[in-house]
């Protein structure tokens, strides 16, 4: 099945708008969610960070599990302190002491119970805690002087005010963070249900590419930067990099390696290079020969126009990203990333809106993703388009802290025009 409406046919190549192409990618991710429903496991809490919840996580109990004091002070009956002032304190007999970790205890009669932060409230008439700063203890007389009135509930942490039973802590697709782990630990959740890592394979193509470790480059060669970038992006607990190959531009060799990778049963295959229209751009035809279904090849965007998306119905999806390194980054950021989010059951990413710091001329009809730097000026988010937007230029990425996304409709945007901005990285 080839999903394409409004296509521009160029020697059999399908070109879609960015919005059309991204919609196909996210649709396929949502549909493939059902294939992964059973691909989950329980992992110990201490090793769950960075993994993705496979189902909603609910609180099994209430936290706090009992009413307790929020202050060091005295548990009292608020009605007994109504007339207390600094000049005319109310004297209450001291009935005992409760520390954190003690059982609540029962103290008959009217009076005050010395209580520490976190200690359980005594049973009975006690409905407030008066701060120690608002009291004066008279040990000889065995009483405490209350210097201000207390209101019912003052300085008491009520049972279940942090977590109630069956309260949702996290939902399917949510990344496990230290904050989530902290909450789970407070509830005694020692194992978490997480999705199996996504199995991903990389194929880096290019007869001009040398390994980044090579110190002396032959004439006409450049070092591979896209491979290390993608490998670093995948170095996380929620991904499993099952293959990372670097190939020269040879169709037969490519098909042989692709078959080996398919045998590994990855969820996603990402290739770089060989997706344009040149003599050595063979990936499109090779994938068709291997039985893949082509969804699109070329997107009306810059950088990264010759981007390919294909799939095997009972196998992986394939993202063919352009070889220029910034095109690789944009393809990962605005196609692979949304697909992964959809596959995990996560909500689509929401862009922020910023004002352009300067007017900008862009090619009409193309959605542009530009290296940019955002700042807050007079309370307003502002974005500066950086110099060096060439798809081969990596140095501006060191200054950038976001992508400015300019839609395809205009060819010039005035200063202060509103544009969408995205973080440099988003998975999570």
Domains of the chain by residue range: 16-39+196-344, 42-63+161-194, 68-157, 352-423
* pLDDT value, residue 318: 98
* Nearest-angstrom CA–CA distance, 22 and 336: 10
| CATH number for the segment(s) 42-63+161-194 | 3.90.105.10
Please give the average pLDDT of every successive group of 10 residues along the chain, which has 428 residues. Answer: 38 77 96 76 95 96 97 97 96 96 90 97 96 94 96 97 97 95 97 96 89 85 90 94 92 94 96 81 92 96 96 94 95 97 92 96 95 96 97 95 94 96 83
Yes or no: say if 298 and 12 are a contact pair by the CB < 8 Å rule.
no
Helix, strand, or coil (residue 360): strand
Q: 169 in the Ramachandran plot: left (φ > 0), alpha (ψ -120 to 50) or beta?
A: alpha
* Nearest-angstrom CA–CA distance, 298 and 41: 38
* pLDDT value, residue 280: 64
* Nearest-angstrom CA–CA distance, 422 and 374: 10
* Nearest-angstrom CA–CA distance, 241 and 243: 6
Count of Cβ atoms closer than 10 Å to residue 221 Cβ: 14
Superfamily for domain range 68-157: Molybdopterin biosynthesis moea protein, domain 3. (2.170.190.11)
- The yes/no answer on whether domain 16-39+196-344 falls in CATH 3.40.980.10 is yes
Assign domain 352-423 to its CATH architecture: Beta Barrel (2.40)
Q: What is the DSSP string of 260-326?
A: HHHHT--SEEEEES--SSSTT--HHHHHHHTTPEEEEE-EEEES--S-EEEE-TTS-EEEEE-SSHH
- The gap from C-alpha 424 to its chain's centroid, in whole angstroms, comes to 12
Which pair of tokens denotes residue 21? 């192409």
Task: Write down the pTM of the prediction.
Answer: 0.86
């Amino acid at each position: 099945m080839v999903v394409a409406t409004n296509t521009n046919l160029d020697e059999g190549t399908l070109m879609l708008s960015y919005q059309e192409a991204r919609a196909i990618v996210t649709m396929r991710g949502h549909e493939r969610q059902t294939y992964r429903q059973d691909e989950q496991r329980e992992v110990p809490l201490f090793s769950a960070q960075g993994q993705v919840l496979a189902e909603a996580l609910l609180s099994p109990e209430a936290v706090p599990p009992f009413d307790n004091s929020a202050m060091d002070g005295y548990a009292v009956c608020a009605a007994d302190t109504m007339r207390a002032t600094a000049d005319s304190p109310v004297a209450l007999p001291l009935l005992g002491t409760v520390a954190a970790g003690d059982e609540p205890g029962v103290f008959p009669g009217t009076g005050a119970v010395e209580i520490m932060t976190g200690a359980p409230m005594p049973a009975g008439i006690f409905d407030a805690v008066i701060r120690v700063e608002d009291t004066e203890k008279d040990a000889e007389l065995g009483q405490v002087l209350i210097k201000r009135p207390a209101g019912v509930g003052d300085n008491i942490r009520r049972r279940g005010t942090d977590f109630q039973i069956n309260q949702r802590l996290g939902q399917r697709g949510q990344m496990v963070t230290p904050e989530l782990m902290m909450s789970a630990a407070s509830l005694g959740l020692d194992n978490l249900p997480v999705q199996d890592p996504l199995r991903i394979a990389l194929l880096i193509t290019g007869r001009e590419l040398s390994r980044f470790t090579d110190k002396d480059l032959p004439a006409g060669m450049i070092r591979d930067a896209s491979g290390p970038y993608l490998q670093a992006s995948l170095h996380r607990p929620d991904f499993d990099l099952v293959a990372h190959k670097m190939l020269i531009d040879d169709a037969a060799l490519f098909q042989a390696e692709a078959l080996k990778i398919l045998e590994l049963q990855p969820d996603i295959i990402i290739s770089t290079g060989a997706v344009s229209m040149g003599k050595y751009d063979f990936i499109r035809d090779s994938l068709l020969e291997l039985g893949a279904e082509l969804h699109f090849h070329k997107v009306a965007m810059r950088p990264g126009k010759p981007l390919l998306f294909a799939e095997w119905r009972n196998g992986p999806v394939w993202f063919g990203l352009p070889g220029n390194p910034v095109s690789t980054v944009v393809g990962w950021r605005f196609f692979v990333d949304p697909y992964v989010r959809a596959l995990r059951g996560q909500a689509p990413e929401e862009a922020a809106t910023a004002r352009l710091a300067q007017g900008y001329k862009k090619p009409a009809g193309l959605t542009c993703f530009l290296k940019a730097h955002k700042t807050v000026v007079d309370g307003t988010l502002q974005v500066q388009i950086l110099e060096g937007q060439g798809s081969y230029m990596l140095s501006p990425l060191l200054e950038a802290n976001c992508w400015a996304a300019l839609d395809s409709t205009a060819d010039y945007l005035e200063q202060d025009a509103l544009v969408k901005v995205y973080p440099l990285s988003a998975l999570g």
